[in-house]
Amino acid sequence: MPIFNLSEQVAVITGGGSGIGQSISEVFAQQGAEVHILEIDEVSGQETQDKIRKAGGSATVHSCDISRQSDVVDVAKRIFQQSGSIDIWINNAGVAHIGSAETTEEEDFDRIYAVNIKGVYNGVRACVPHMKQQGQGVILNMASVASVMGIADRFAYSASKGAVLTMTLSVAKDYVKDNIRCNCIGPGRVHTPFVDGFLKKNYPGQEDEMFDKLSQTQPIGRMGKPEEIAYLALYLCSKEAGFVTGSFYPIDGGFITLNS
């Protein structure tokens, strides 16, 4: 049996239609998982589903707003009834925001909370009963380097990602006796379509210059690739990581340790 094999594993990935989530969906499908993508953007979810199926993998997209608990619980229930298990749940979906406490409007803060914090809570609440019923499971949360470091103009975002880290620790402790592992990943800057869109919107005509500037904030000299995050997620959700729970894994090109 090859290592990091996810055959016969049912994996649910929130925000699995684009960026890091898309790479996780594709890598997990390549390793044999039955992938379920929860997406508010049905177009990107459908495109990822079709790409995985064309490559011979198993993928199904579900329209879902992770900030609405009833939506997430209902989708999880359907997946469990149809597939017989939920072995892996990845709380990947998230939104970003730039601003200090003074420049962050209340509606911006509420939006960050609804997706980045409540969305993770909703995912955990939806999958844990099924994992307890089947006697095992793995939960992986997407945190950030901002979970443990102060980053300028990231007030609401940093608060949300700090919450993701501490929720991870609580879930790991609460359910270790139920054979449920819970960990989180802390990426640094990763080159996704979001980065390109951000640069185009905020720095028209200076995209290349600003991309290089942002890349150099990682000591390694470049941004991460979505698939690099996906490979770490693969390890943490595989049987090979069976001794790992309650842990925070930075993947940041040296950002935390070499900038501290």
Catalytically annotated residues: 157
Is residue 207 classed as helix, strand or coil in its secondary structure?
A: helix
Contacts of 144 by beta carbon, 8 Å cutoff, 6+ apart: 157, 158, 161, 164, 186, 187
CB 39 within 8 A of CB 12: no
What distances in angstroms separate CA 15 from CA 100, 115, 175, one per listed residue? 26, 11, 24
Count of other CB atoms within 10 angstroms of residue 210: 15
Q: Give the span between the Cα atoms of 48 and 69, in whole angstroms.
A: 24
Cα torsion at 20, 98, 91, 118 (round to 10°)?
Answer: -160
